[in-house]
Amino acid sequence: MEIAWYGHAAFKLTPETGPSVICDPYTPEGVGYQPIEETADLVVISSDDDDAHCRADLIPGAPEVVNALTVAQNGGVTQAAGLEVHAIEAAEWDHHPEHEVPGQNGMYRFELDGIKIAHMGDVGNPLTPAQIAFFEDVDVLLALAGGYLTIELPDLMKMVHAAKPKLIIPMHFRTLTYKPRNTKWIESFLAYFKEEDVDFACASQVSLSAGDIPKETRVLVMTHAR
């Protein structure tokens, strides 16, 4: 499987077999990253009212679209493009500067090439026991690592220690391109891990197979697409 990080919370996952998936596409002008010019079989968005996470309409072609929040509010599982998507409801940050009332969104997971992948959506608060359990047995966690506008890092680490994802790919952290300036740099997140447990891809795309999944939690830092 190929994993590409566009920036912010947007990824593309292209398996050897099965549908290709784009997660949480953004509005380029809002986040400062490049337009996403690739298409996919399926686009999963964590909500339908956050321009930094829901712009399926900007993805070329005619992919199927799944709103994880809708899935979470209607049984927690759906089928789309031949893929089974599971979701659980979550609230964004209580003090979000753009919303008087915290918006709801969906955290979601699915399996490609025998690899269990989870995306944290835009959750902004400590996770409940049910939300923590949602991430148990995950192979790859696309994790909110910026600490501002989303879950605080100590609360994120509580989930990591409990659920023990095998490989964490951080997202939603500050870069030289990312427009929101209060988000933390990646070093704040990495301070919670031993140096020997962190790898740097130095690329916006990596190849990953089920055999590459570590037995204990490791972190893989990617570079956003340019």
List of domains in the chain: 68-221 (3.60.15.10)
| Confidence (pTM) | 0.95
Q: Which residue has the tokens 């992919």?
A: 63
The C-alpha atoms of residue 119 and residue 60 are separated, in whole angstroms, by: 22
The C-alpha atoms of residue 99 and residue 90 are separated, in whole angstroms, by: 15
| 7 Cα distance to chain centroid | 10
Is the per-residue pLDDT at 96 higher than 70? Answer: no
Summarised one tens digit per residue, pLDDT across range 45-93 is 999 988 999 999 999 999 999 999 999 999 999 999 999 999 999 998 7
Is the per-residue pLDDT at 181 higher than 90? Answer: no
Q: Which two tokens stand for residue 16?
A: 């050897």
Q: Which residue has the tokens 């095998």?
A: 166
Q: Which helix (H) or strand (E) holds 30?
A: helix 28-31
Summarised one tens digit per residue, pLDDT across range 194-222 is 999 999 999 999 999 999 999 999 999 99
Does residue 147 or residue 152 have the better pLDDT?
Answer: 152
- Residue 26, strand partner residues: none
Does residue 95 or residue 145 have the better pLDDT?
Answer: 145
Summarised one tens digit per residue, pLDDT across range 67-76 is 999 999 999 9
Determine the pLDDT at residue 87: 98
How, if at all, do strands 83-91 and 104-112 pair? antiparallel
The C-alpha atoms of residue 158 and residue 168 are separated, in whole angstroms, by: 14
Q: How confident is the model at residue 95 (pLDDT cuts 50, 70, 90)?
A: low
Determine the pLDDT at residue 98: 62
| 96 Cα distance to chain centroid | 19
